[in-house]
Amino acid sequence: MDSSRTEPRTVVPRTAAAAVIGAALACGAVNFFSWVEADNARACENVDGLCWTWWDLTQIPLTLATAVVVLVIAYKQLGIGPRTVVVPPTVLLAPFPLTAAQSMAGGWMAVVVGGAWSASLALAALTAPSRHAILGLTASATLFLASLVVLY
């Protein structure tokens, strides 16, 4: 007896969902960082010398923690695994392509690159024993190397 629970889910919708999640996380990070910058400028406008706000000190840890929690929950729901292999590269290496995209074309390009980065890593994880994993790894490596060229 075949039910929809026992049939394997296709790769395309899960990869697309990972792309949407990556784009949403990138959009949130870009907006949060710009808000922190505006808040810092407003709070430190009358200060001569160095000035840090609480948001300055916590913006990176809060962003990383939010990304890890969202990705672990989302990848579990999408059946993408093992999460211990996918989440660290997504969180720790993603700032390079996102920063490069934002420096070249603004925040919306960072959102697009965040979606492409997340989709390529999800494709590699979803199709690990097949030839499609090479496509996902190649796409993510290309994004990473291109971002290093842009940044450095």
Q: What does the alpha-carbon distance between residue 66 and residue 82 come to, in Å, rounded to a whole number?
A: 19
Kindly state the percentage of the chain with pLDDT values over 90.
Answer: 35
pLDDT, one tens digit per residue, over 31-54 is 999 999 999 889 888 888 888 888
- Tens of pLDDT along 67-84? 989 988 988 898 887 666
**Which ranges of 8-131 does DSSP label H, i.e. alpha helix?**
11-43, 54-78, 83-93, 95-105, 107-126
Inter-residue contact 51 to 37 (CB < 8 Å): no
pLDDT band with cut points at 50, 70 and 90 for residue 112:
very high
CB-CB contact of 59 with 28 (8 Å): no
What is residue 93's predicted lDDT score, i.e. its pLDDT? 86
Whether the Cβ atoms of residue 143 and residue 133 lie closer than 8 Å to each other: no
Handedness of CA 49, 55, 59, 62 (dihedral sign): positive
